[in-house]
Structure 1
């Protein structure tokens, strides 16, 4: 198991000390079980399962527990869900305790509260504590969320990024992550729409290169960069990434809406 998963052991100890008995299941999701964890790039994602909603005192204790976890490693991001929540598709107005980049929110909407988290937990959740809960998967809810995220977040992201890249000379070097995020992100959602399965960021780059060959070279470079190779990117690459996002969004809606 990855050395970075020491953070989950620290999490379990903190839960036992601060809210004993509340969390009955803990599962790692994201890049680790998908075999695409990259030191220095990837976060550790988790889903914690409870038999009942946390009380106000327990939520305060959870916040303190996360604040007490050792720092210096990858971000440790996740969501606390009850077995009752997981037994039905995620409600559009639902909330749950979530932590992202060290920010714990006791009743956060959105974020990991979405059908992709349900799918990841059901198909790929790596068990750390307890037995896997029953997880309700709804193909229509998953499709609607994916299309909505592409039309909302990814379309907005492409518009903002395109303006930023257009404001600087095309040959200007830009951070690799600013290109990798666009190249791999929208393609992951397209892949899930097409297959009903989740894929890693590297898998998304390979999938997108195959299905959108105009940008295959850019996708291959993004995959090499994610693997740790020294692959420089420019503003022109950033512009191409935003064009790829727009093509992915348009194709997804043409095929699946």
Structure 2
């Protein structure tokens, strides 16, 4: 459902109106005319491509699905592509997961970007680190810890990887609680693949993903690692649960 909503919001022809998008949303069971305007650009033709949908939170009857989508816009001025991390909330009703709300459209370029540190520049320029634009904007806004940026560079030396979220697009809170997430504090990233291996498909002992978790666990500035494994037993720095089967949650100690 989350991917269907994301694609419906980002696929329209030049000259189409939000009303046409709203009609297509109704075809997938979503009756929300305002939602249709979320990623609409007047006069543009738009196509969408799902990069990866990742769980941002899971409770028995509610869920957050952080969906990275590439939106390509074609106008008379040319073609541009932007990748956003959407926070799409679902609710289970009578046993069926249905759309609830769009909690985040993935942000916008900061109006007042900060001067970038050497680590920030290095992360942004590193082709081994695949970042959605939402995460790039977080770095340009100065919202990401220097320690986290350092870990990101060192992880790229271990293996190239793909990021779902840094700050924007992740729930502000630890989903289902009132406690602030490490993401909204600029202290965490979520990784959905290492090299060409999706975390959810690389969960065997000794796999590249398993070795990456072991390496991360050895780093002194890592506060918590959520993954398919609990290396030090439940309650330690390395933890696992149903939510962290499709990604690595990497959180650092505060600067």
The TM-score by the shorter chain falls in which range?
A: 0.3 to 0.5
Structure richer in helix, relative to its length: 1
TM-score, length-scaled by structure 1: 0.33
TM-score, length-scaled by structure 2: 0.34
